[in-house]
């Protein structure tokens, strides 16, 4: 007998801005278990434009919340509106998936999870790049022992800010944004998925430039007064004993170093920018290299073999990706949440994970302000890895 087919989860999108395009493109074509039916925005024109492009209904925000046919709200509004929109969705009996950061404050995040528990609905949160092929390949390598016991992490997010391209970049330099809350979610979420929860944080923070001049249109020449740290150098202690140094900055231009490297007792793993789904994963395995050292061993090049005096050294080797979703797959976390809604098992990009990440990010600012380590009160289980197909 065939199993009873599972009906797709009906989705309403709130927030029809820049990022909604890729969500709609993916959620209307790539995932059978979701069916997007409507989009709403404070701007009626934006909602109508997206609705027309993707063949769905444009609604007011109130009507979308009142629609009993919508089970899951995907909240793509600006960060300041995340908590309010999500609370309204959950109060209306719907599950919700928020773009990052989950909410502005820890208290809002905890209140959202509590209300969802009371109402028997699910909460999920971006980013979902950690479900992509590169970070899932890395996750399997770590779990299979390719680098041995994790010891250290270097994580670097450097950019000179967003005022050269974003049409309205002022918010990036106000409390609740800055490089940690804007880009930190990709790094901290990836690290918790790879290594587990974080228990303690210490940091130094600074403001490299008190003012920024906008060089994008339409606000070219306007001055932004910076009101939040734009350079944050943090050290994160993991429950498993690993120690990460994470630097997020809008004050420097670039780095020649890998954006994310995991070092273990037996080797190291270089990962691509965790704000992407694919990219190159490279593995260095000195311990395995030394144990099999002979004149023709792996890691020696033809030059090594031609020159008996040349000392063979272990080399970084690119690893073929074992997992799918290597292109821009934003929305895969929504599809995984829909799976969880139907089968009752935990979602991978869960509200609990997003809440832990939010807790850690706040600690990276508080530590420097308070001149002390901050213990992380929240914890979370590592989300399950994705199947290798
Ligand atoms: N822009 C990016 O590259 C990018 C990438 C990844 C994630 N994100 C995240 O996606 C979210 C949206 O970013 P964006 O770039 O699309 O912003 P945006 O400003 O282009 O769009 C946000 C939309 O939300 C609407 N909105 C605001 N408050 C609302 C409310 N209370 N109810 C209904 N609609 C409301 C606005 O009218 C606007 O159309 C943010 O959380 C951001 O962190 C953005």
pLDDT at 281: 98
From the CA of 79, how far away is ligand 1's center (Å)?
Answer: 7
Q: What is the pLDDT along the chain (389 residues), one digit of tens a residue?
A: 556 668 999 999 999 999 999 999 999 999 999 999 999 999 999 999 999 999 999 999 999 999 999 999 999 999 999 999 999 999 999 999 999 999 999 999 999 999 999 999 999 999 999 999 999 999 999 999 999 999 999 999 999 999 999 888 998 999 989 999 999 999 999 999 999 999 999 999 999 999 999 999 999 999 999 999 999 999 999 999 999 999 999 999 988 888 999 999 999 999 999 999 999 999 999 877 666 554 444 455 556 556 655 556 789 999 999 999 999 999 999 999 999 999 999 999 999 999 999 999 999 999 999 999 999 999 999 999 999 86
| Ligand 1 atom 31, closest CA | 81
CATH of 9-125, one of 3.40.50.720, 3.40.50.970, 1.10.10.10, 3.30.565.10: 3.40.50.720
> What gap in Å lies between CA 201 and CA 375, rounded to an integer?
7
For the full predicted model, state whether its pTM sits above 0.75: yes
Measuring from each residue's beta carbon to the nearest atom of ligand 1, which residues come in under 6 Å?
14-20, 41-43, 46, 61, 76-79, 81, 85, 99-100
- Phi, psi at residue 376, to the nearest 5°? -90, 115
Residue keyed to tokens 């910076």: 226
Contact 298, 292 (CB under 8 A): yes
Which of 12, 19, 24, 126 has most ligand 1 atoms within 8 Å of CB, for mutation?
19
From the CA of 105, how far away is ligand 1's center (Å)?
Answer: 18
pLDDT at 301: 57
Residue keyed to tokens 């404070």: 42
CATH of 130-324+348-375, one of 3.30.160.20, 3.30.420.40, 3.40.50.1370, 3.30.360.10: 3.30.360.10
Q: CATH 3.40.50.720 in the chain, residues?
A: 9-125
Closest CA to 204 of 367, 363, 357, 358: 367
Q: CATH 3.30.360.10 in the chain, residues?
A: 130-324+348-375
Which of 49, 77, 103, 185 has most ligand 1 atoms within 8 Å of CB, for mutation?
77
Which of 14, 17, 82, 100 has most ligand 1 atoms within 8 Å of CB, for mutation?
17
Residue 83 CA from chain centroid, whole number: 18
């Amino acid at each position: 007998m065939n199993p009873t087919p599972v009906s797709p989860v009906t989705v309403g999108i709130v927030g029809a801005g820049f990022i909604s395009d890729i969500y709609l493109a993916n959620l209307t074509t790539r995932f059978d278990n979701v069916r997007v039916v409507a989009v709403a925005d404070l701007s009626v024109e934006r909602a109508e434009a997206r609705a027309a492009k993707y063949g769905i209904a444009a609604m007011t925000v109130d009507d979308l919340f009142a629609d009993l046919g919508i089970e899951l709200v995907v909240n793509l509004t600006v960060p300041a509106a995340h908590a309010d929109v999500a609370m309204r969705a959950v109060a209306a009996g719907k599950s919700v998936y928020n773009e990052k950061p989950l909410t502005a404050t820890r208290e809002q995040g905890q209140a959202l999870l509590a209300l969802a528990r009371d109402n028997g609905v699910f909460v999920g949160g971006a980013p979902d790049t950690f479900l992509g092929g590169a970070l899932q390949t890395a996750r399997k390598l770590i779990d299979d022992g390719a680098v041995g016991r994790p010891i250290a992490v270097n994580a670097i997010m450097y950019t000179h800010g967003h005022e050269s391209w974003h049409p309205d970049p002022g918010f990036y330099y106000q409390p609740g944004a800055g490089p940690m809350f804007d880009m930190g979610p990709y790094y901290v979420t990836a690290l918790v998925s790879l290594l587990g929860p974080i228990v303690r944080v210490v940091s130094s923070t600074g403001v490299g430039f008190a003012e920024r001049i906008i060089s994008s249109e339409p606000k070219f020449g306007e001055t932004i007064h910076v009101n939040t740290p734009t350079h944050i150098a943090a050290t994160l202690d993991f429950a498993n004993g690993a120690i990460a140094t994470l630097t997020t900055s809008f004050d420097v231009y670039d780095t020649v170093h890998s954006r994310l490297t995991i070092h273990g007792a037996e080797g190291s793993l270089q990962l691509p920018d965790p704000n992407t789904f694919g990219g190159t994963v490279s593995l260095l395995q000195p311990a395995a290299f030394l144990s099999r050292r002979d004149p023709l061993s792996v890691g020696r090049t033809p030059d090594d073999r031609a020159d008996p005096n040349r000392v063979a050294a272990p080399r970084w080797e690119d690893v073929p990706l074992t997992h799918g979703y290597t292109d821009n797959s934003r929305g895969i976390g929504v599809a995984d949440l829909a799976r969880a809604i139907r089968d009752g098992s935990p979602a991978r990009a869960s509200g609990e994970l997003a809440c832990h990440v939010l807790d850690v990010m706040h600690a990276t600012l508080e530590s420097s302000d308070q001149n002390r380590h901050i213990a992380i009160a929240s914890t979370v289980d590592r989300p399950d890895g994705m199947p290798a197909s």
